[in-house]
Amino acid sequence: MSFILVLCSLIIKEMNEAIKGGEFVIRETPYTDIFIPEEFDEEARMIRQTCLDFLEAEVLNKLDRIDAQEEGLMQNLLDKAGELGMLGVSIPEQYGGFGKNFNTSMLVADAVGGGYSFAVALSAHTGIGTLPILYYGNEEQKAKYIPKLTTGEWKAAYCLTEPNAGSDANSGRTSAKLNAEGTHYLINGQKMWITNGGFADVFIVFAKIDDDKNLTAFIVERDFGGITMNPEEHKMGIKGSSTRQLFFNDCPVPVENMLSERENGFKIAVNILNIGRIKLGAATIGSSRSVISQAVKYANERVQFNLPISKFGAIRYKLAEMATRLFATEAATYRAGQNIDDAYDALIASGMDEAKAKLKSVEQFAIECAISKVWCSEMLDYVVDEGVQIYGGMGYSAEAPMERAYRDSRINRIFEGTNEVNRLLIVDMLLKRAMKGELDLMGPATAVANELMSIPDFGDEDDAPFATEKKIIANLKKVGLMIAGAAVQKLMMSLAKEEEILMNIADIIGYIYVAESVLLRAEKIYHTAGEETAALPTDMARVYLHSTLDKVAIAGKEALYSFAEGDELKMMLVGLRRFTKAEPFNVKEARQRIAKKLIEENKYCF
């Protein structure tokens, strides 16, 4: 009896402990533990509406002028956004901001995401331009810069990338050398792809001091001198976003403008990019929502064969699939955002400094941030591509909205670390946490391997709501553990070089996270708003889950074929088939119901 009590107490303890980053792979999450967008309070919704109203009044009617980079226009728009508080939603009140939580700042990125090049300029300013000072600056630096960045009086940019240092940022050659008087660092080097570079007043610049191995970060004002730049880059999309190459020629930076500590620049860059990744995910959600609404309206207006094209099954498939992918990735992104907020609250309660707690909480969920970035950016690319197809010939015309949306979307798979790099990071971070003992991956992976040797469990079916779908999710996690565990054991240290296998594993992990997130969203709506309200969210969750089964099966086979052989391969292929098996589900009828609602509402309405 005492053993049973101890076991029960351990189970209860695990259920009550806050989930760690990446732990979703080995742990079931109850719907009560996640946040869904439907739960935003009235104040957050008002902030979102303010952003949407601003886009309608100030941005969407000026898109051609913005893309032409009309002199002073973008700066003026940022000024107006600053007056409304849009630049300071998550900035502490002591620096002139609203001091809202992380998920509310994500909601702003979401709302502004439909603003094309303006969204890029605002995101660069409020994110990578401002946050390094807020999180790593000393009190004097924060007091000097943050209030002016919050109002928009000063605009910010981030100077990390160099011609020979992109994803490998720490290989940058920009140098910093202390002058003879010991008062200034003289910075020399070249930076490229600098968003807001043409008009920014403040730059976060990364350089190496003398023969240092790692980068150091500096706060550089344009007026310091020694800064020249090339003309604006001509880009495929986001044409209204100022993008320049900057050259630093003995640019004198006061020693007090070193940000954080010497050689801490690479850590700053990595942590700020974690924030940028999930914020980018939120922005693509807003952009996708706008594109879907435009596509629905056009499908209702465009008549062929005496019928609106929204009456045709092929078009309805596209509308439903666009909405399903958006609904699913949105669930994953705000789920992660709340995890970050909860981790922050716990760190503050433990006595940690606010700025450090913000960084630690995001770092804890860096895996989920990378998943959001990859899956949301690829979701947007799917949405705009299908949007062009629904518009047909007009989709290819610059006179219609899809052409700009299509071009502007493509950069998101490159921004904030390419999707290939982020996929590799997902697996790398997961395995490193396992090696540090922060996550027990090998225990569950071994249990799955043992399960393959046993007779399948054909126990009684659970008829509780979503029980069948939860079993599918549990089985998909077994696939991830089985393949990751076998790859680690078989390939050992050489696994790091097997990028194709790593990306297969990353796809499995990412699809599991998104599928579980959308299922939990539907389940929470079911329990809080009722079965009728949850009907269409449940359809979307099931459609996404069933497509995930096939994608996981394909990624799993490709991975196994790459490193397993003989009886081991046969056994794991049997397990793969077992764990990706599900009862038939009429996805066509579910998509029809989703599309019908979109068409009736004449917009994205979920």
- Going by the DSSP 8-state scheme, the letter that residue 589 receives in this structure is H
- Nearest Cα to 363, choosing from 435, 270, 427? 270
- Nearest Cα to 161, choosing from 418, 368, 503? 418
Is 221 among the residues known to form the active site?
Answer: no
Range 301-305 contact pairs with CB under 8 angstroms and sequence separation of 24 or more: 302/392
50 Rama sector, left if φ>0, alpha if ψ -120 to 50, beta otherwise: alpha
Determine which helix (DSSP H) or strand (DSSP E) holds 339, and give its type and residue range: helix 313-349
Task: Count how many residues are written for the chain.
Answer: 606
What 3 state SS string does 500-542 have? Answer: HHHHHHHHHHHHHHHHHHHHHHHHHHHHHHCHHHHHHHHHHHH
- Are 137 and 124 spatial neighbours (Cβ–Cβ below 8 Å)? no
Query: What is the residue whose two structure tokens read 């610049």?
Result: 205
- Are 181 and 154 spatial neighbours (Cβ–Cβ below 8 Å)? no
What CA–CA distance (Å, rounded) separates 523 from 379? 22
- Nearest Cα to 85, choosing from 142, 155, 151? 151
What CA–CA distance (Å, rounded) separates 247 from 173? 12
- Are 36 and 521 spatial neighbours (Cβ–Cβ below 8 Å)? yes
Determine which helix (DSSP H) or strand (DSSP E) holds 191, and give its type and residue range: strand 184-195
Question: Which entry of 416, 469, 516, 523 is annotated as an active-site residue?
Answer: 416
Determine which helix (DSSP H) or strand (DSSP E) holds 175, and give its type and residue range: strand 175-178
Residue 406 structure tokens: 């299509």
What CA–CA distance (Å, rounded) separates 411 from 415? 6
What CA–CA distance (Å, rounded) separates 571 from 453? 8
What CA–CA distance (Å, rounded) separates 568 from 281? 39
User: Which amino acid belongs to residue 309?
Assistant: I
- Nearest Cα to 384, choosing from 371, 400, 399? 400
What CA–CA distance (Å, rounded) separates 333 from 371? 9
Catalytic sites, residue numbers: 416
